[in-house]
A and B are shown apart, each in its own frame.
Chain A
């Protein structure tokens, strides 16, 4: 570290106040309540404003972190919001769901000794401040270029690409398969972690920038990629995400009461099944829920089950807490709310009653063996350790594969054996001229911010292509993580 000897900040890392765990376990309101302006200024003043800006290197979208933190320290909250939005169009969302502890905050000079500057909380604060004041600025837009771009999928990667291209003066249309834009931000991440009004507000900025969002359009079905070019689009960006749920392939998996996490969360978040019958889409009544998986989606599912009134909501994971891919904050929240955790167990079969309804799951105990390719120790079954757990719903949250719709109707588009679209690297260029891809559809299920980072890179590459239509790259095979669970 080239910095001078670090001085301890005068105040500790500021906590956000949160809804009481026992109260919030019964509602869908957001858990953390955000900083007050005073807290935000105190926190911002902890920043050392190091010359090397290690935090920025940890940010997939290159936000000028010291820049916006300084503005907060000076009390210029709206200016700080503008500074963030130079690089990130979804700050209220990223401030909530980015794994900052793995990114910007991990590299903060204060992180080891004093606790890093709470960059994520500050990002959230400025975005909320601006929105609640009703002063959300629509960014300046370059004069029209006459170029048209179609974006498929309105999740984090599609929205980011749309924003960047619209800002550069291109005419952008976003096609979304569901009836509401936002992708996983709307159907997947629950209200208590990401209020949907915030997603809507951030999507509205895009609309104000002239981006056309067409919902209820399943590209691959209603139009092919070729149709889009015939309609006059100069380039196409595919950001259709990881929307194909994995099941466990164990006996009894089609019993009544077994949901993929996607289905369970979509019913509750997008379709608002928690308010049935006021909303028409139901979700089963249940007393005992079990959830399989160890990622953020598993945490979202088990905490949602708890909020729907479960007597017990249990997360079952085949390794230990230490290996769980979920953010530690999410695991802690779940623990505080009363979610039960069973580590080192894996299901072997589901048991139903005579009507085909789930009544129990049989599991095996595991122990940790040698590390696998992900570096985590591989779970190994303990012989003869089978046991049954009573449950009336089970949620399978062990990951998602590539959404197959576009690939099925576009056989000439190169994919790997898992159906992920192959690209020539971060520029997102596929083997089809004018067709770009990015986000989970390329790299496999990952995070919101990585998908946004991919969208940003693709937008640069699309912008270049629109003025220089050479297309030379052959996509190379990407290394994909074999196991995200």
Chain B
């Protein structure tokens, strides 16, 4: 059982938690994730560790409500408990001084790219962050990203904040300005990562993506998270979650993400309905 020491909404559907898991707080590195389970009937859900404090023995998780488990997760408050947390899982991000590093975060992916940006900064990189959201009301972590970046560009699809458009536009512009970039980290929805990779590919610019395929155990045992990278089968949980984006078969990955879509959607709407009935 792990106590939540702090819980706050970052927008209507995204909540930040600080949870006591001292052994993980001490051992985790940027880019690694945990798997949580909320109870006896619960599923195992992978979540990236956004930050940690080894002093306080806490890790930070940022959760967007997208289904049944995250619906209940975001109902949790300070001093509630998360029964199962296992980690740190996956390989840590490859961090070195690349000169200039561009960190691209799309939506909730901003929470995942944040620890990487922080680690890149600490390794001496000039960090340019591009974070994108559908609209201003979904914006998260602006201050945190500002703190750890040398430069921040914010985009919104509808133009309600920052630049109008997608995260790929400012990246394109950088190439137009002949800016020297050492590496790109792109984390967000699959389609966004795919688009970023398409932008950087003609420039042959090393681009890491963090993949979140369907996962069960997170220790390489089930093979559910297999992805094709460089025409080879890799398990995102133990070989990843980060891979060279230019080598990832996104089409296959995007199709596989939909495996349980209709079942999960039903389960989510059923639970919302029941919950609303109880509330009223």
- Give A residues with C-beta under 8 Å from B: 177-179, 187, 215-218, 221-223, 243-245, 247, 249, 253-254, 256, 259-260, 262-263, 266-267, 271-272, 276-282, 284-285, 355-356, 403-405, 408
Contacts and interface: CB of A to CB of B under 8 A. Distances in A.
Contact of A266 (B221, B226, B264): B221
B87 A222 contact: yes
Given A216-B84, A263-B224, A405 B219 contact: yes
A279 B44 CA distance: 11
Contact of B87 (A215, A218, A262): A218
A355 B44 contact: no
A177 B226 contact: no
Contacts of A259: 224
A223 B23 contact: yes
A441 to B, nearest CB: 13
Contacts of B89: 218, 221
Nearest to B264: A282
Nearest to A401: B220
22 contacts: A177-B219, A222-B88, A223-B23, A245-B222, A247-B226, A254-B228, A254-B252, A254-B256, A256-B256, A259-B224, A260-B222, A260-B223, A260-B224, A263-B222, A271-B44, A272-B41, A280-B41, A280-B69, A282-B263, A285-B263, A356-B252, A404-B238
Contacts of B42: 280
Contact of A356 (B85, B86, B256): B256
Interface string B34-47: 00010001111000
A276 B217 CA distance: 18
Q: How large is the interface on B (under 10, 10 to 19, 20 to 34, 35 or more residues)?
A: 35 or more
B255 A356 contact: yes
Given A222-B88, A262-B223, 6 more contacts: A177-B217, A221-B89, A256-B256, A260-B224, A405-B219, A405-B220
A277 B27 contact: no
Contacts, number: 116
Interface in B52-80: 68-69
Given A280-B69, A356-B255, A243 B226 contact: no
A280 B263 CA distance: 10
Contacts of A281: 43-44, 216
Q: Which of A179, A267, A284, A408 has the most CB of B within 10 A?
A: A179
B25 to A, nearest CB: 10
B270 interface: yes
Nearest to B43: A280
B87 A277 contact: no
Contacts of A355: 255, 258
Contacts of A403: 219-221
Nearest to A400: B221
Contacts of A178: 86, 217
B219 A243 contact: yes
B86 A179 contact: yes
B219 A277 contact: no
A166 B217 CA distance: 29
Chain A contact residues, majority secondary structure: loop
A221 B222 contact: no
A352 to B, nearest CB: 9
Chain B interface mostly = mixed
Contacts of A217: 23, 86
Contacts of A405: 219-220, 238
Nearest to B68: A280
B266 A277 contact: yes
A179 B224 CA distance: 18
Contacts of B24: 222
Nearest to B32: A221
Contact of B267 (A177, A262, A272, A280): A280
A275 to B, nearest CB: 8
Given A221-B89, A222-B88, A256 B258 contact: yes
Given A256-B259, A277-B270, A262 B222 contact: yes
B13 to A, nearest CB: 19
B233 interface: yes
B275 interface: no
Nearest to B256: A256
A266 B256 contact: no
Contacts of A278: 41
A243 B256 contact: no
A249 B228 CA distance: 12
Interface string B207-234: 0000000001111111110111000010
B28 to A, nearest CB: 9
B243 to A, nearest CB: 15
Nearest to B38: A280
B23 to A, nearest CB: 5
A256 B216 contact: no
User: What 3 pairs across the A-B complex have the smallest Cβ distances?
Assistant: A356-B255, A263-B222, A280-B43
B41 A279 contact: yes
A243 B217 CA distance: 11
Contacts of B220: 243-244, 403-405
B221 A254 contact: no
A218 B219 contact: yes
Nearest to B263: A282
A221 B28 CA distance: 8
A279 B43 CA distance: 7
Nearest to A281: B43
Nearest to B23: A222
Interface in B244-280: 252, 255-256, 258-260, 263-264, 266-267, 270
A287 to B, nearest CB: 16
Nearest to A265: B222
A279 B263 CA distance: 12
A405 B220 CA distance: 8
Contacts of B219: 177, 218, 243, 403, 405
B255 A245 contact: no
B59 to A, nearest CB: 12
A309 B27 CA distance: 44
Contacts of A254: 226-228, 233, 252, 256
Given A222-B23, A277-B266, A281-B44, A256 B255 contact: yes
A12 to B, nearest CB: 43
Nearest to A404: B220
A196 B177 CA distance: 63
